[in-house]
Structure 1
Amino acid sequence: MSKKDENPQLPHNSDLVLAAGKVVLDEPQMWGKGIVKEFKECILGHWWEEMINFNFKTIAVTLFLFIAVISPTLTFGAVYGKSTGNAIGAIETMLGTAWVGIAYSIFGGMPLCVIGSTGPVLAFTTALYDISSGLDVPFLTFYAWTSIWLVAYCFICAFFDMTRYVRLATRFLDEIFALLIVAIFVLNAVGSPFSTTGLLRYLDPNHKSHQAYEDDPNYNYLTSAFLSIILGFGTCWFIFFLRGFKFSPFCCNQGIRTSIHDFAVVVSVITFTLIKELGYSEVPTERLNVPTSFETTYQCCDASCNTQWPVDCPGQAERFGTRPWMANFGDLNGKGWVPIMAAGPAILAFVLIYLDNGITWHLINHKHNKLEHGEAYNYDLMLSGFFQVVNGCLGLPWLVASTVPCIIHLNALAETDKDGHILSVQETRLTLLGSHLLVGLSILATNVLELIPLPVLYGVFLFMGLSSLPKIQFWNRFLMFFEQPAMYPSYPFTEWMKAKRIHMYTCIQIFFFGLVFFVQNYKKIAIAFPLMTLLCIPARLYLLPRIFENWELCVLDDEDDIIEEWVTAKEESIRNFQAKTEGADVSTAGGNSEMDMDDDDDDAQKV
């Protein structure tokens, strides 16, 4: 036996898988090759299969997705109206969401992604409105010229395969972004400190929902508030209750249990709407603010339509009309340089849309979701640019992949085990197509939407946020601060890393989450949100490798197949070490959850 064999040593953790913890860019598909490749794979390869992939689940998910889309669409529409002087309003938001969703469901490369309004895009549009006001240029004209530059940037980026840089956004950024969007949903449902929305806001006697009844002596705002809170939290609880039937022993068979699970949201919304209408019809609650007619929101004082009725002409009895659908590109108020100047804000808009889309696509296409029909980053970015320029010219809001609805859509179409692990996903275009057709039809049937109490939809929002939390590893690591170490959930990092190292990584992630959250919610600097989000990528690439070893970043942040490769190599190295050591128990050493892998000496001692 050689001297080396007489003193066997475990290999260092960092040497087990050389690529562990490293972020590597894909080979570039330049000059439009990426667009062509993705079109062939996603459209020519799977389009027909996805268009006929219909079953009972498809109906349930379509109705659920409609509910998940229509409420934020109307809510964002109302906020757009306030933020843009009614240049963009509820009807524009509904129309934009409907046609873009239908078009994307037919022509898009990744049909599980849901296109809609998002808070960051709304904040940027508000900033763009303030810029146009400062320039004394009509907002819709400036908005349209910015959209022209935006589509050019999207086409250039897709043509040169610059979307491959989205792969630099590892789980570190993905989960910060996902938790940010989930936090927005939960806060807006419960009661956001940054706005007047949410169930607990009804306890405020000055809430806007109470103002319409301030002259009614029989109206009690607390009665309305408590009923609203019960409706909201009750809706959320009932959804979770019904979805729990899937793996319960109750009901006749698995088919019925699965149907109850799939229709949980629809049944819950109908149930609590009926409870309100049949049991407490005399108690008023807030309703969706839906448009009463199909016309543009902005009402004009005169033929030029540069002044808004009745704000700018209070003495005028009737409006002259509404704004035309198409923006006037030549209405520059004598400032011919504005179309060129719009290229600057368009760069920030592009960064925002690039990140909003890219990170959401990255989350949806993560390997643990087991999607099989391929990715289409370049093709879909080009398509997204086309959607933005059409919406910009028509005075409709820019729409991007909306993170929480995308995650909810994916999970609703997935088959999971009792622990929530995805086994397979029904990849179909029909749910996206059907739900957005319903959004379009609802423009003609707004009286039906008014029947649904807004607190019930807040309950759906709360469910969407809470149901997404357990799937975010960042959230689970945050909870570990309050858990007994012996009861930590089973992850590769809890098996092989010290708790203090895991907590250090989580603290760094919390710090960057706090920065992004603060910038996103502080209106004066909200326009910098995309740049702050982008800052997380170099932090992962250059800061974290200085603090953590590559194997630690691997088990915390790498792709699942790389993590599995490292764990397999680690267990194999331990077995080889034990084979050379007297009295080694080969059957148990590989699963020792208390093993500290900081260095080779500690490994040897614990074996």
Structure 2
Amino acid sequence: EREECVEGKVGNHDNTPKDHHDTPIQTGISGQCVCVCVRVRYVKPMNFQEEVRGHRDLDGFLAQASILLDDKATTLDEVLRCMLTHVTEDGHRGCDMDEVMNTVFTDTGGDEDNVQLLSETIQGVTASATGVRYQQSWLCVLCNVKSLQRRHVCIARLERPQNWGANCCEARYVILILSPPRTKSTKTAIELGRTFATMFSDISFRQKLLDAKTQEEFKQELVHQRHHLSIVNEKPATEKQMIHAETDPRSKKTLKCADFFKVGRGIYEDLRRRLPLYPSDFTDGITFKLSLPLYTTTAIFLYIAILLPNIAFGSLNDESTRGEIDVRKVIVGQSIGGVIYSLFAGAPLVIPLTTAPLAIFISVIRGICDDYDLDFPAFYACIGLWNSFFLILGALLNVSLFMKLFKRSSEEIIALFISIAFVGDSVKGTVKIFNYFYHGPTLATNNSTRVLLEIKELMEKAANATERLGSRTSDGAPVVKHVTHVFLPESLVLCTRERPILCLLLMLGTLWLGYALYQLRRSPYLHAKVREVVSDCALPIAVVIFSFIGSFLFLDVELPVFNFHNGKIFRLAQFDKLTGMNCLSAVGLGFLLALLIFIDQNIVISLTHVPEAKLLKGTAFHWDLMLTGFINILMSCLGLPWMHAAFPHSSLHARQLAKVELHVEGGHLYETIVNVKETRITALTANILIGLSVFLLPIPLQWIPKPVLYGLFLYIAATSLDGNQMFDRMLLLLKEQTSYPPTHYIRRVPQKKVHFFTALQILQLIILCAFGMYPLPYIKMIFPFLMILLIPIRTNLLPRVIEAKYLDIMDSQHM
């Protein structure tokens, strides 16, 4: 039992009608205290598989349904009166509105009788290791009415979410339960409320009810939900489920050495689990008509988000390999590998890409080939084949089970490093443009004779000026004053400083517009569906607008673009140009590359399938690792760039396909994912479009300036920070304590421990950045070993300085 004091106004001094305004508690005279006793108790959810009463309650409601769709009422008082009117119109004449309203609200004894609180309600609460959170989008109101002869239920779906006070900030559904006070224990208002509260506690079900257009569709969703709840009750784990727990890197089963000797068991379990769901990966996108606009915007987003990094990394590879791997080869390789992965991968939402670490690795191989006079295509292919061999071997030996040792904090350190790497690439590219164009003036003419004549005249004038400045001292010694600066005339100098300034504006403008449109989903402007579409298309809109600004509005300003080579795309590696020792020397580089791809691949899959994403079809760590190995065999032999699962593209892909529900808690706005459409169609479509983009080379793709690509990198880095718990805790160091959000670690972990843990994570991140971004390429080769070192640091060192219970809380997956 909990007692609360509610202070506020108890009078009606403005002569407005007495009403139950935006909160369940209505207050009156200022300064007067009213005590309210609130009893909170647990209500067991209805078990539809074992309890017959739940089915009977729903059948009775469906027979005489009282359903209000898109009610325009805004206050709780208005909503309840509309519901009671609807119940009366449906033939329940024994329902007296005034009696019900007096029973629904508790009179607190004020003189004006308008300090009131809902008497009895049922509301959903999500309790986990991360704390307690109210489900604020629905409210079940219970009422015992003496004049009633039988029970009545009315459900109202509001046109817009309403703010009715604490723990009910976005009410969208109101369930009114009316029951006579003297009835069987299995037919009380609480028992009837249990039935409907259990059904409405499912966020996916509430989202389906939003899509219902008629009362019949609404009823049909209720029937489907009853059927769903009848079959999803927890059952004893079968032998197959226990085997799956042994091969799933995300299970809590303790890792054993014997698990690595069950050759191929992980791949078999992945295929056995995912193959039955394979047809639904396509049909979900075709049969559900409301998904088509979502899939279209997601495919466009993926097309832009994949194509532009391909152009950027292709340009980087073109410079480091001197044209052996250029933009066109990167685009073709992305299309081939992406289509194969989207068709056969166990986790279709994961997006494979060639990445910055792979581009650095390729530049190191080019340097080795130059130092030892090796054939680059052959040596590149040899390293790629060894890499694929180790990846396939690791998949067969269930090496992905090592991901059990990676905690959330370690994964977020690596994710934040990748975001910083995107920012670093943008900054380095912009600095390079400034160094080339801003500091050194460029001659406006290529006529060398004219330039030499002009310079000769200037030098003669300077010499004459020097002679005129000559003088003598008192002892007769000459003193010569030289002209220290000689300036070329404006007719010979073309000022190029507008180029880097325009590049900077294009980069920052792409970031600003893209992120502003991305955040439009959380704003109150425009209609909700318009906000959702614009937010999904934020990146394409920003890229198109600022490419137009740079390439057309500033047509007279020459901007840097990528190079284009019109040669053969496919070139088979000629291994006969390598000796046996050359092939053996490639083993070490192939192992380092396999280690890098193994860690990145599995961490990206893990970050994409976090519990809060609510992905239901499961993962396939072992099979996807083997598939990546086979794809890289093809890439190596054809001279195309390697690829692996990429962050944050994979997480952003899942977020684009997610249905999101917003809620307010403690004054902070949070997003809760309702469900995600797990389909192969979006990634498959995007990669096919990327393959067709070869015909857009060099024009019009060269109309996209490099600064816009850098702005895209910044956009990807910024959007990938959403949901990164480490970044959220880093921001706490800059915030006033009173503005801390009510997160689970703030409530359950001492503040000093939180900041100390964050500081240790920042230290690990700095070490990763120091080695991963060091100018010498060979230093970067040890980066995979540093990522592995995060495991013993988290499991062995951190528990020595911070209690294990606090570490587990801060590392927990919050829903």
Q: Is this a same-fold pair by TM over 0.5?
A: yes
1:319 corresponding residue in structure 2? none
Q: Which has the larger radius of gyration?
A: 2
Q: Are 1:36 and 2:282 matched, yes or no?
A: no
Q: Are 1:295 and 2:568 matched, yes or no?
A: yes
Deviations 1:66-113 (A, max 9, x none): 111112112211222232343322222122111101111111111111
Are the counterparts in 1 of residues 337 and 352 from structure 2 also a CA contact under 8 Å?
yes
Greater shift, 532-541 or 133-142, is seen at: 133-142
Give the deviation of 1:458 after TM superposition: 2.4
Change (3 A) 1:244 1:137: closer
Distance 1:276 1:93 in 2: 24
1:243 corresponding residue in structure 2? 518
1:477 corresponding residue in structure 2? 729
Total equivalences in the alignment: 504
Distance 1:398 1:255 in 2: 39
Distance 2:439 2:661 in 1: 44
Change (3 A) 1:121 1:203: closer
Give the deviation of 1:209 after TM superposition: 12
Q: Are 1:403 and 2:647 matched, yes or no?
A: yes
Aligned residue runs from structure 1 range 131-280, under 5 A: 131-189=368-426, 191-192=427-428, 197-198=429-430, 201-206=432-437, 219-251=494-526, 253-280=527-554
Give the deviation of 1:468 after TM superposition: 1.6
Describe the SS at the equivalent of 2:720.
helix
Give the deviation of 1:479 after TM superposition: 1.5
2:186 corresponding residue in structure 1? none
Are the counterparts in 1 of residues 745 and 810 from structure 2 also a CA contact under 8 Å?
yes
2:417 is aligned with what amino acid? L
1:552 corresponding residue in structure 2? 806
Change (3 A) 1:247 1:505: closer
2:210 corresponding residue in structure 1? none
Describe the SS at the equivalent of 1:368.
helix
1:325 is aligned with what amino acid? R
1:596 corresponding residue in structure 2? none
Distance 1:66 1:89 in 2: 19
Deviations 1:439-474 (A, max 9, x none): 111111111212223323322222211122232111
1:601 corresponding residue in structure 2? none
Give the deviation of 1:543 after TM superposition: 1.0
Greater shift, 73-82 or 128-137, is seen at: 128-137
Deviations 1:275-314 (A, max 9, x none): 3455332233233x15253524xxxxxxxxxxxxxxxxxx
Q: Are 1:527 and 2:786 matched, yes or no?
A: no
Higher-strand-fraction structure: 2
2:581 corresponding residue in structure 1? 337
2:540 is aligned with what amino acid? V
Are the counterparts in 1 of residues 281 and 680 from structure 2 also a CA contact under 8 Å?
no
Change (3 A) 1:217 1:106: farther
Are the counterparts in 2 of residues 416 and 423 from structure 1 also a CA contact under 8 Å?
yes
1:416 is aligned with what amino acid? V
Aligned residue runs from structure 1 range 124-135, under 5 A: 124-135=361-372
Deviations 1:260-283 (A, max 9, x none): 222222222222333345533223
Aligned residue runs from structure 1 range 308-387, under 5 A: 325-332=571-578, 335-387=579-631
2:751 corresponding residue in structure 1? 499
1:368 is aligned with what amino acid? E
Give the deviation of 1:532 after TM superposition: 0.9
Q: Are 1:390 and 2:634 matched, yes or no?
A: yes
TM-score by length of 1: 0.77
2:687 corresponding residue in structure 1? 436
Q: Are 1:283 and 2:557 matched, yes or no?
A: yes
Gaps of 5+ in 1: 1-13, 15-21, 297-323, 562-607
Of the two structures, which has the highest relative contact order with CA contacts closer than 8 Å and spacing of 6 or more?
1
Distance 1:213 1:406 in 2: 47
1:83 corresponding residue in structure 2? 320
Are the counterparts in 2 of residues 209 and 286 from structure 1 also a CA contact under 8 Å?
no
Gaps of 5+ in 2: 1-128, 130-250, 286-290, 447-490, 663-669
2:74 corresponding residue in structure 1? none
Are the counterparts in 2 of residues 24 and 168 from structure 1 also a CA contact under 8 Å?
no
Are the counterparts in 2 of residues 360 and 403 from structure 1 also a CA contact under 8 Å?
yes
1:117 corresponding residue in structure 2? 354
Give the deviation of 1:343 after TM superposition: 2.0
Are the counterparts in 2 of residues 35 and 159 from structure 1 also a CA contact under 8 Å?
yes
2:341 corresponding residue in structure 1? 104
Are the counterparts in 1 of residues 514 and 539 from structure 2 also a CA contact under 8 Å?
yes
2:549 is aligned with what amino acid? I
Percent of aligned pairs with the same amino acid: 27
Greater shift, 411-420 or 89-98, is seen at: 411-420
2:555 is aligned with what amino acid? S
Change (3 A) 1:247 1:497: closer
Distance 2:674 2:734 in 1: 30
Distance 1:167 1:407 in 2: 20
Deviations 1:324-363 (A, max 9, x none): 710011212xx32332332222221111110111111111
Change (3 A) 1:492 1:180: same
Give the deviation of 1:181 after TM superposition: 0.7
Change (3 A) 1:528 1:430: same
Change (3 A) 1:218 1:246: farther
Greater shift, 210-219 or 90-99, is seen at: 210-219
1:124 is aligned with what amino acid? F
Are the counterparts in 1 of residues 345 and 627 from structure 2 also a CA contact under 8 Å?
yes
Distance 2:305 2:266 in 1: 32
Change (3 A) 1:91 1:135: same
1:373 is aligned with what amino acid? K
1:425 corresponding residue in structure 2? 676
Deviations 1:373-415 (A, max 9, x none): 1101000000000111111111111111111222222222222
Give the deviation of 1:536 after TM superposition: 0.6
Describe the SS at the equivalent of 1:415.
strand
2:812 is aligned with what amino acid? D
Change (3 A) 1:214 1:464: farther
TM-score by length of 2: 0.58
Are the counterparts in 1 of residues 443 and 492 from structure 2 also a CA contact under 8 Å?
no
Give the deviation of 1:232 after TM superposition: 2.3
1:204 is aligned with what amino acid? N
Describe the SS at the equivalent of 1:558.
coil
Higher-helix-fraction structure: 1
Distance 1:484 1:76 in 2: 41
Change (3 A) 1:257 1:40: same
Distance 2:654 2:341 in 1: 16
Distance 1:213 1:425 in 2: 57
Describe the SS at the equivalent of 1:444.
helix
Give the deviation of 1:488 after TM superposition: 1.8
Give the deviation of 1:219 after TM superposition: 4.9
Q: Are 1:455 and 2:701 matched, yes or no?
A: no
Describe the SS at the equivalent of 1:68.
helix
